């Protein structure tokens, strides 16, 4: 079964850091690009970051550039999102998703909640 | 990138059809045939219902269909069923490995 499991969410103060992880199983992880997508409480979905299968190509949405870092360890089937200088507006459920095709994110993990608050 | 525009809510009775629109720009929906639709039940992860504007993953009922005209994409659900009640999000590729989502539409089955 193809599965993605996120972890690492929690409560952090503004300006703090958090590292999210996404464990992949059931498919050849290195063959697929991956995305992080977030959803603020009661709000819609927002694409956050992309990483190619090899890790050589990386993109971020403008609001997190310079603060977030995405990486992957293909030997461990693991995706990470390092979040620094966190702001209140980064509060959201963060999902990792496999980029099956350019317009098909499938599957998604169950999400991990990040709360930025003092 | 600005979010794609979707109606906040739509509703229909069981057996009826509903259409959800998704309006973007000539930089996303209008130029790429990479529009997808995601269903999200409360507290659950999104799941893809339509991709590449019109394609359905295996397991998605053929009651779900997608289309696009100019800068606007649409999701039509025919033969509404109670389990279709959920939030629906459109998504478009916007170039340079970036994507933009719509604000979401709450579908209520009356």
Please report how many Cα atoms fall inside a 13 Å half-sphere around the Cα of residue A113, on the Cβ side: 7
Q: Tell me what pLDDT residue A45 has.
A: 97
Angle at A32 between CA A28 and CA A38, to 5 degrees: 120
Q: Percentage of chain A with pLDDT > 90?
A: 100
Q: What is the pLDDT of residues B3-13, one digit of tens each?
A: 999 999 999 99
Mutation target for A interface from B24, B88, B98, B100: give the one with most A CBs within 10 A: B98
Residue bearing the bigger pLDDT, B73 or B97: B73
Q: Which two tokens stand for residue B1?
A: 């990138």
Could you give the CA distance from residue A18 to residue A105 in angstroms, rounded to a whole number?
Answer: 24
Q: Tell me what pLDDT residue B2 has.
A: 82
| Helix residue spans in A13-107 (DSSP H) | none
Q: Which residues of A touch B (CB under 8 A)?
A: 33, 35, 37, 44-47, 50, 52, 57, 59, 61-62, 95, 101-111
Q: Tell me what pLDDT residue A32 has.
A: 97
Angle at B37 between CA A44 and CA A83, to 5 degrees: 40
Evaluate if residue B1 carries a pLDDT over 80. Answer: no
Any CB–CB contact under 8 A between B105 and chain A? no
Q: What is the pLDDT of residues A70-105, one digit of tens each?
A: 999 999 999 999 999 999 999 999 999 999 999 999
Q: What is the pLDDT of residues B14-51, one digit of tens each?
A: 999 999 999 999 999 999 999 999 999 999 999 999 99
> How far out from the chain centre does Cα B28 lie?
15
Mean residue pLDDT of chain A comes to 97
- Mean pLDDT value across residues A21-45: 97
CB pairs under 8 A between A and B: 71
Torsion from C-alpha of A73, A86, A50, A107, nearest 10 degrees: 80
Q: Are strands A58-60 and A45-51 parallel, antiparallel or unpaired?
A: antiparallel
Q: Percentage of chain B with pLDDT > 90?
A: 95
Interface of B with A in 34-73 (CB under 8 A): 34-36, 38, 40, 45-48, 51-53, 57
Whether residue B63 contacts residue B56, with contact meaning beta carbons closer than 8 Å, is answered with no
Whether residue A81 contacts residue A48, with contact meaning beta carbons closer than 8 Å, is answered with yes
Instruction: Provide the 10 A C-beta neighbour count for residue A47.
Output: 23
DSSP code of residue B33: S
B86: which chain A residues are within 8 Å (Cβ-Cβ)? Answer: none
Could you give the CA distance from residue B3 to residue B100 in angstroms, rounded to a whole number?
Answer: 6
Q: Give the model's confidence band at B96: pLDDT under 50 very low, under 70 low, under 90 confident, else very high.
A: confident
Any CB–CB contact under 8 A between B110 and chain A? no
- Taking an 8 Å cut-off on Cβ atoms, the answer to whether A103 and B103 are in contact is no
Nearest residue, CB atoms, A44 vs list B57, B99, B101: B101
Q: Tell me what pLDDT residue B97 has.
A: 85
């Amino acid at each position: 079964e193809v599965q993605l499991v996120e972890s690492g969410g929690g409560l952090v103060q503004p300006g703090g850091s958090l590292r999210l992880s996404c464990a992949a199983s059931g498919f050849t992880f290195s063959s697929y690009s991956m995305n992080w997508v977030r959803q603020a409480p009661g709000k819609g979905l927002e694409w956050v970051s992309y990483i190619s299968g090899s890790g050589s190509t990386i993109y971020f949405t403008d609001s997190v550039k310079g603060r977030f870092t995405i990486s992957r360890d293909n030997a461990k089937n693991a995706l990470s999102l390092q979040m620094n200088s966190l702001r209140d507006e980064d509060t959201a459920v963060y999902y990792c998703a496999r980029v099956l095709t350019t317009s098909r994110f499938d599957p998604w993990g169950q999400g991990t909640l990040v709360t930025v608050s003092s | 990138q600005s979010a794609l525009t979707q109606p906040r809510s739509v509703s229909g009775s069981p057996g009826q059809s509903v259409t959800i629109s998704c309006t973007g720009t000539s930089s996303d929906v209008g130029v790429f045939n990479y529009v997808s639709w995601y269903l999200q039940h409360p507290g659950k992860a999104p799941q893809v219902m339509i991709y590449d504007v019109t394609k359905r993953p295996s397991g998605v009922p053929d009651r779900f269909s997608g289309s696009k005209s100019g800068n606007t994409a649409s999701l039509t659900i025919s033969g509404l069923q109670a389990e279709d009640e959920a939030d629906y999000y459109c998504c478009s590729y916007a170039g340079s490995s970036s994507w933009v989502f719509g604000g979401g539409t709450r579908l209520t089955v009356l």
